[in-house]
Amino acid sequence: MSAVLKVAITGCGVIGRMHAVALQQFPEADVVALIDTVPAAADSLADLMEESGRPKPSTHLTIGDALAAADIDLVVLATPSGLHIQQALEVLGAGKHVVIEKPLDVDLSRAQEIEAAAKEAAGRGVFASVISQHRFDRGSVAVANAVAKGRFGRLTSAIASVAWWRGQGYYDSGDWRGKWAMDGGGALMNQGVHTVDLLLWFMGRPVEIHAHTALLAHERIEVEDTAVATVTFENGGLAVLHATTAAYPGLTVRVQLMGSEGSAVLDNDQLQYFHARDAGTASADMGLQGGGNQTIEELSKYPDEDYEAMDPTVYPGGHIRQYRDILDAISEGRQPGVTISDAVNALATVRAVYVSATLNQAVLFNEVLSGRYNDLEVRTGPSSTAGVS
C-alpha cells in the first residue's frame, strides 16, 4: 500500500460530499476517484474538489470501473443504504479497505454476510468499518469511558430519543427514501440508528424488545415516521427508545443514562449533565435532583484540540474524528474502533423493533439475530392506515 492512502468515494450525494470534505483534512489520504451512477453528481463534486485546490479526482460509473482504472486503497460507500452490502463485498473481494456509511445495510441477513467477510478480510490485513460518527463526540466518549470504568455503578435505565422533523419534501427528494427496499425503515432506521448504536455502546447487549411504529405526518412512504420501544438489556437495565421525523419543527437527539452511582445526559451530541458519585462531595441519599453537575470538570479531561478536529469550521467534525481512527488503524494494521459487528447489533435492534411492531408482541434480540424472523415482511404499525387528512 502507498504511503498516502488512495481513496474512492462511491455515491456523490449529500453525505458523499461530506466525506470528501472530511478527507480533505488528512494529508495522508487523497481522494483520487469518485463513483456515481449519475455522472453529473460525480463530475460536480470533482469540480468542487479541484476548486478547493486539490487534484481533480477521476470519475466513474461503477466501483469495478474505478478499480480497473485507478490505484485505490480504500473505498467509501455513501450510496443508498440497500446497496451497501453488495458493494462492500465487491470492495473487500478486490482486497481494498472499505468504509460504509450507516446503516450497514437494510437487510440483517445480508449484513451478517459482510460480518463474516470482514472477519476473513481482517486476517489478510484488509479492514472494514461503519460510520457511527457520534461515538467520536467528546460527550459520548466521556460517557463511554465512565461506563467502562463502572463510575455510574449499576446501569439501571436509559432513555434514547430522536425527535426530529422532516418535511414531505425530504421524502419526495429521492425515490429510495421512505421505501423498505432501499431505506430499510423510517425514523428509527434512517435518523435513529446512530442513537441506537450509542444506546448499545453504553448499555450493552439487548435481550428483549417491544415496540410500536406508526406513519402519522407524511404520505407516499412505506416506513414509519414514529417509533417507540422498550428494551431490556443483559445487564438488567431497562431502556425507552423513541425516534420520529414527525416532531415539528424538530427537537433534539437526547440520550439519558442512569445508574446507581451516577447519571449522564447527552443532548444534541453535547454532554449536558454528568454526575458520578466518586467525583462528588455532596451526600445524596435523598437525591440531588439534577444538582451536582460535573460536566465542566469531566469534559476538561478531554482536551479541545483532540475534539475540535483540525479545522473547527468544517461541519463534519464527527466524520473527521472517525476518519482519524480509521486512517490510524489502517496504517497500524489494526481493526478500526467501530466494527461491522457493532453495526450488525444496531441493525438487529432496529429490525427487532420492526418485527415487534409488526407482530404486536415482544421479541428476543437473539432470535432476531439468529434469523428466526428473516422471512417476515415487516410493515408500519396499525396507525399507518390513518395517514394524513
Ligand X SMILES: NC(=O)c1ccc[n+]([C@@H]2O[C@H](COP(=O)([O-])OP(=O)(O)OC[C@H]3O[C@@H](n4cnc5c(N)ncnc54)[C@H](O)[C@@H]3O)[C@@H](O)[C@H]2O)c1
Query: What is the binding site for ligand X (CB under 6 A)?
Result: 10-16, 35-38, 41, 78-81, 83, 101-102, 131, 133, 174, 190
Nearer to ligand X, 131 or 276 (CB): 131
What's the min distance (Å) between Cβ of 154 and ligand X? 32
What's the min distance (Å) between Cβ of 129 and ligand X? 12
Residue nearest to ligand X (CB): 13
Cα atoms found within 13 Å of the Cα of residue 46, Cβ hemisphere only? 17
Distances (CA, A) of 37 to 61, 81, 221, 243: 5, 15, 24, 32
Residue 82 carries which DSSP code? G
Nearer to ligand X, 93 or 125 (CB): 93
Distances (CA, A) of 83 to 111, 184, 223: 11, 11, 18
Rounded to whole angstroms, how far apart are CA atoms 164 and 243? 8
Distances (CA, A) of 247 to 161, 178, 288, 381, 383: 11, 17, 31, 18, 16
What's the min distance (Å) between Cβ of 59 and ligand X? 11
Query: If we measure between CA atoms, which residue out of 173, 197, 316 comes closest to residue 253?
Result: 197
Whether residue 186 contacts residue 227, with contact meaning beta carbons closer than 8 Å, is answered with yes
Rounded to whole angstroms, how far apart are CA atoms 193 and 86? 20
What's the min distance (Å) between Cβ of 292 and ligand X? 33
What's the min distance (Å) between Cβ of 174 and ligand X? 4
